[in-house]
Structure 1
Amino acid sequence: MLLGKIGVMDTSDEVNTQGSTVEDWTRALAQSTGSPGGGAGTGLMLAIAASLTSMVAGYTEAEDHERGELDSIRARARSLRNDALELADQDASASRAFGAAFRLEPGPEREAAISRASVDAAKASAVLGKRAMDAINDLAWLAANGNPALVADVVVAFGALRATVAGARTNVSFDLASLTSGGSTMEQIREEHPVLWAMVGDLNDAIERIDALTAEIDHHAAPTDAV
């Protein structure tokens, strides 16, 4: 999500994550349009984490009593990859609405539009963050039980997942704070949007958990650090 008083400029060449090449999508991301922006990039990082989770699960051989769990992890990861790309596009749409609100003439209508767009943007980022948090357990299982030859891929997946969680946390927090432009205080925002406010804390906790899980296997993924 590109947030701020500059808003989001219109573009006639809109791209989406599911119908664009990596080249086209990243070229669009590099433009000063804000759609796609950081929030959409957060969704793409979630898709990368899910894709790597699926790959490692596919390369992992499990005992009979673990086969069901491994198959479920791979199925969830494949589903998450698709969902994450859709969520990235939804965030891009929220970015356009946010920018349009900021381009309105100053006055009550603009303030109301910014408030609506801010809450919608925060909700979009919160969904991304929730899906990312839900994916931590599956990746943690692979960190402990996955193919040891792919431990570096697990660490990369954790990195992508961390980027997703950190991006969602920042966007939810910033979008909520944008409500102050309409005259609300931070205390009022917390009282009016308790679920979104609490999500910021949950995402902070998730970042700490990802860091701890990554640290547990980092000596296997990067053994030269110990030399």
Structure 2
Amino acid sequence: MKKIIECVPNFSEGRDEKVIGAIAEAIRNTQGVTLVDVDPGKSTNRTVYTFVGDETAIVEGALAGARVAREMIDMRHHKGEHPRFGAMDVCPFVPVAGVTMQECAEIAKAFAKRAADELKVPFFLYEEASDRDYRKKLPDVRRGEYEGLDEKLKDPKWAPDFGPAEFVPAWGATATGARMFLIAYNVNLLATSNQAHRIALDLREAGRGPRQPGKLKDVKGMGWYMDEYNLAQVTVNLNNYKVTPLHVLFEEVKEKARELNIAVAGSEVVGVVPLASLLMAADYYIEKEGLFIYQEEQKIRLAVERLGLNSVAPFNPKEKIIEYIVAEAPDEPLASLSVREFIQEVAARTSAPGGGSASALMAAMGAGLGAMVAKLTQGVRKFEDREAHMQAAIPVLHDLTQSLIPMIDKDTHAFNEYMDGLRMPKSTEKEKTARKAKMQAGLKTAVQVPLNTMRLGEKAWNALCETAKYGNPASKSDVQVGARALETGIWGAFQNVLINIAGIEDEVFKEKTMAEAKAIETRSREKCAEVLAILEKN
């Protein structure tokens, strides 16, 4: 899996468009980096940049931004609502995909060393990159802010991890480290800054102090007034959205605002968010309101609407959800063909695509036909007594259809892996050994792919039985064709398991795989007969 790291540096400039643009351009022009968001704030006089890249590119992107800040930002003239102590105030590295937190901690250290050496400024490590408890939390590292930094650096206890232990007036200091995906989130209030701050004190984990902790864990927050929006905000950092999700914070603010007779006017996400955070919100409102929504796109829309994320600026999921931003086009050349083109590919004088890809297609068509009938039944007034059955079947059949489509290409890819091994040289014993190992690995992959097709297909049977029992009778033939297509797809995948497993020398693998494949194929025939019998009775 490709390594994807997110970097979210906060620079102490949110008003000068020339500086904001220059930093963005430096990051954007770094090879291997994708700049996904630039979020300036005039009141905070601070801009949050979000970009992603691999372990090498992400450091280069952060360095590029820091170099510009060193030249163009002078902290001696900085004023803003947000706590800060440096031109590049904070620079966290966040694991997104294929990378661990510890790896991100090492990346932060590598960046800090290079930046401190080159720019001659102090860098502090925090969160997972720091091994000292008293300076792990960002508020502790930044306590005293820029104005207190000169004295702070004179204390040996607060010597920077990298760079000079001396005050650099134009720069200040920077904190860098590794952390969980932090969501910067603001809830809008038609209120005063004092009222917003009062709510923030009630909710943030630190509360009003050790004797008056707040209600929500892993939440940092305060209240302020945003002149450009002409409203107040409870502004928070959700340090762990799985502990305190977006919707929990939003609903708690609503409750506190209700007690104070204050109006809530939506909310905003600063930067980007993980997909899971919005799906969690959607699931909460779906359950709370008794809704039936199963498509991801509609879930996202529901979350955006309920949280009021469009209230002060448009919320474009493709630009705000990290998984959508970094998503690559699927490697599915076969599944992307027209029906005519796919059939012609199968009919061509080549061994791939062959029966395995065709089997995956048939299984997908089987699940898809079941999904179609269930969807055509659900929501129809004369079938209201069947609504619960259809609502149970639709998400299963819909999701399995989507999951089976990629198997069309995976089968061909698996066969190509075996062929790569077959074409390897075999002149020496070493070459023969490497060739055999490659071919054996290719055969196992060629077995696992159709077996996965069988596993996915099998999961559709119970939902297809429900559709046969309670689906629109006018669509009886569609369910019949769906059942036969699904059975044939599973049977065809089973034949691919049989033909490829014969050449595998790992007897333990063969025995275990065959037992599972035979069981699925047998159950498939039985379930197909069950579906057809149900339809004959109806």
CA offsets, 1:123-160, max 9 Å, x none? 11111000000101111111122111111111100111
Q: Which residue of the other structure, out of 420, 429, 439, is the alignment partner of 1:114?
A: 439
Instruction: Report the Cα distance in structure 1 between the residues aligned to 2:532 and 2:398, rounded to whole angstroms.
Output: 26
Letter in 1 for 2:402: N
Q: CA deviation at 1:75?
A: 2.2
Query: Which is richer in strand?
Result: 2
Instruction: Report the Cα distance in structure 2 between the residues aligned to 1:149 and 1:21, rounded to whole angstroms.
Output: 29
Instruction: Report the Cα distance in structure 2 between the residues aligned to 1:147 and 1:58, rounded to whole angstroms.
Output: 10
Residues 168-207 of structure 1 aligned to structure 2 (within 5 Å) = 168-179=493-504, 184=505, 189=507, 191-207=508-524
1:127 is aligned to 452
SS in 1 for 2:459: helix
Q: Is the 8 A contact 1:49 1:161 kept in 2?
A: yes
Q: CA deviation at 1:39?
A: 0.9
Name the count of aligned residue pairs: 199
CA offsets, 1:162-203, max 9 Å, x none? 111101211112221121xxxx3xxx52x2344412222212
When residues 118 and 16 of structure 1 are mapped into structure 2, their CA distance, relative to the original with a 3 A threshold, is same
Calculate the TM-score normalised by the size of structure 2: 0.35
1:44 is aligned to 361
Q: Superposition RMSD on alpha carbons, in Å?
A: 2.4
Letter in 2 for 1:202: A
1:5 is aligned to none
SS in 2 for 1:54: helix
Letter in 1 for 2:434: E
Instruction: Report the Cα distance in structure 1 between the residues aligned to 2:519 and 2:333, rounded to whole angstroms.
Output: 29
- The gaps in structure 1 that reach 5 residues or longer are 1-13, 222-227
When residues 215 and 55 of structure 1 are mapped into structure 2, their CA distance, relative to the original with a 3 A threshold, is closer
Which moves more between the two structures, 132-141 or 194-203? Answer: 194-203
SS in 2 for 1:100: helix
Which moves more between the two structures, 205-214 or 84-93? Answer: 205-214
When residues 69 and 17 of structure 1 are mapped into structure 2, their CA distance, relative to the original with a 3 A threshold, is farther
Give the structure with higher Rg (CA). 2
Q: Is the 8 A contact 2:392 2:463 kept in 1?
A: no
Query: Which is richer in helix?
Result: 1
When residues 207 and 78 of structure 1 are mapped into structure 2, their CA distance, relative to the original with a 3 A threshold, is closer
- 1:146 counterpart = 2:471: yes
Q: Is the 8 A contact 2:367 2:457 kept in 1?
A: no
Q: CA deviation at 1:19?
A: 1.9
Which moves more between the two structures, 140-149 or 94-103? Answer: 94-103
Instruction: Report the Cα distance in structure 1 between the residues aligned to 2:405 and 2:416, rounded to whole angstroms.
Output: 17
- The gaps in structure 2 that reach 5 residues or longer are 1-330, 427-431
Residues 1-227 of structure 1 aligned to structure 2 (within 5 Å) = 16-60=333-377, 61=380, 62-64=383-385, 66-106=386-426, 107-179=432-504, 184=505, 189=507, 191-217=508-534, 219=536
1:3 is aligned to none
Q: CA deviation at 1:63?
A: 4.0
Which moves more between the two structures, 211-220 or 105-114? Answer: 211-220
Q: CA deviation at 1:51?
A: 1.6
Q: CA deviation at 1:214?
A: 4.4
Instruction: Report the Cα distance in structure 1 between the residues aligned to 2:533 and 2:339, rounded to whole angstroms.
Output: 32
Instruction: Report the Cα distance in structure 2 between the residues aligned to 1:71 and 1:15, rounded to whole angstroms.
Output: 30
Calculate the TM-score normalised by the size of structure 1: 0.78
Instruction: Report the Cα distance in structure 2 between the residues aligned to 1:205 and 1:50, rounded to whole angstroms.
Output: 18
Q: CA deviation at 1:220?
A: 6.4
Letter in 1 for 2:344: R
Q: Is the 8 A contact 1:165 1:206 kept in 2?
A: no
Q: CA deviation at 1:31?
A: 1.3
Q: CA deviation at 1:34?
A: 2.5
Q: Is the 8 A contact 1:17 1:85 kept in 2?
A: no
Instruction: Report the Cα distance in structure 2 between the residues aligned to 1:171 and 1:85, rounded to whole angstroms.
Output: 17
Q: Is the 8 A contact 2:450 2:497 kept in 1?
A: yes
Q: Is the 8 A contact 1:151 1:220 kept in 2?
A: no
